[in-house]
A = this chain, B = another copy of it.
Amino acid sequence: MNFFTKETKTALQAKEQALWLAFAPIAFQASKALRDLGILKVVADSGTQGVTIEDILEKVKLSRYSARVLLEAGLGLEMLIINDKRYTLTKTGFFILNDTLTRINMDFSADVCYKAMYHLQDSLTEGKPLGLKELGEWETIYPGLSLLPEPARTSWFNFDHYYSDLAFPAVLPIVFEQKPKKLLDIGGNTGKWSMACARYNEDVHVTIVDLPAQVNVAKKNIAEAGLEDRIDFYITNILDESQPFAQGYDVIWMSQFLDCFSEAEIISILRRCREALNEGGSIFILEPFWNKQQFKSAAFCLQQTSLYFTAIANGNSQMYHTDDFFNCIRAAGLEVVLENNDVGLSYTLLRCVKA
């Protein structure tokens, strides 16, 4: 990956990009309004023939003025083009309307991040997620996740699950290669992964570690699936170093979990994982690393998502570069014996063992 080593723009293109950035908040809200007020759909349905503003006004409830300023903004945003007063959709408009990844990211930006991001600069200088107050009165977002006001709650979980749902099927065979009997699922969240494990292998017993609010949600899901005899729970705050993990696990699993912590916290968690591990056992870590992406835009999404952690989640975590993350693994007395960079949409699966 060497997306970020060379200047790629002419002076004119760079000035265009600078002006885009200067108007980015307006561009964002305009794109979302074009999508949510139904204008993109009407234009999309018209195909290559296109629609006039009069056609659009028959199908959406807007004044001519409102439709016009939005459509004109959409031209500049390259979501629409116009010929003979007929608007048609561009590929960018198509993705804003139809691409699930784009939609989930946009909803996350709008519902979780927009207001909170106003406090980014102060969050960076003070080292605290000062934007979080726009959503609720917690010190970090984690105890508040299931209590977030709507639509932030739905948008947060859609964002969180979209990526991991695509990755799980690919990694199950790797995790179960050595037929683990006891598996520890740290940050088990809604119980999705633990249930997938219990279904994939009928001999495995899983323990979910998480905060009380998350465990409540997982318990309910697992009971409904009839898997409560093979999955149990360990309620703890993983940041509390005085609380040891239980011992004797063949596999410890952490999916999209360690990016929620600072480097010092990652080292502390991994050290305790090391102690909980049976001889010959493995720690599997599933993470998106921005420097391991096939597409520049995937790296871009992760780099910007880091600032959600800064301003909203907890003020000290991020989507990591492997250089920084592997330093933590080594500092915890572990070594990486497998690195699979082709998991799901943007994940790397790491297998770590005692060094």
- A binding-site residues for B, Cβ under 8 Å: 3-12, 14-33, 36-37, 61-63, 65-66, 68-70, 72-73, 75-78, 80-83, 90-92, 94-96, 99, 101-102, 105-106, 109-110, 113-115, 117-118, 120-121, 124-125, 127, 262-263, 290, 295-297, 299-301, 303-311, 316, 318, 321, 324
Contact = CB atoms under 8 A, between A and B. Distances in A.
B26 A307 contact: yes
21 contacts: A4-B82, A11-B91, A14-B92, A14-B95, A15-B297, A17-B78, A19-B101, A19-B301, A21-B77, A23-B105, A29-B118, A30-B120, A37-B125, A65-B127, A65-B262, A66-B127, A69-B318, A70-B124, A75-B303, A76-B304, A114-B118
The residue among A109, A263, A303 with the most chain B CB atoms within 10 A of its own CB is: A303
Given A9-B90, A78-B8, A73 B121 contact: no
Contact of A69 (B6, B76, B306): B306
B76 A299 contact: yes
A3 B90 CA distance: 13
A5 B105 contact: no
Contacts of A262: 65
Given A29-B121, A63-B127, A115-B115, 18 more contacts: A4-B80, A4-B82, A5-B82, A9-B92, A14-B92, A19-B105, A22-B109, A23-B301, A24-B28, A26-B113, A28-B28, A33-B121, A37-B121, A65-B316, A72-B318, A75-B299, A75-B303, A77-B300
A179 to B, nearest CB: 39
B310 A69 contact: yes
Given A73-B306, A121-B29, A316-B65, A102 B301 contact: no
A70 B303 CA distance: 9
Contact of A19 (B6, B15, B29, B300): B300
A94 to B, nearest CB: 7
A327 B143 CA distance: 58
A86 B21 CA distance: 24
Given A37-B124, A316-B65, A30 B304 contact: yes
Can you tell how many copies of this chain the complex includes?
2
A23 B304 contact: yes
A55 to B, nearest CB: 17
Contacts of A299: 75-76
| Chain A interface, >50% SS class | helix
A81 B5 contact: yes
A90 to B, nearest CB: 5
Contact of A14 (B16, B90, B114): B90
Contacts of A290: 72, 76
Contacts of A96: 18, 21-22
Contacts of A303: 72-73, 75-76
A84 to B, nearest CB: 9
A217 to B, nearest CB: 27
Given A26-B117, A318-B69, A99 B15 contact: yes
Contact of A300 (B23, B29, B63, B310): B23
A18 B92 contact: yes
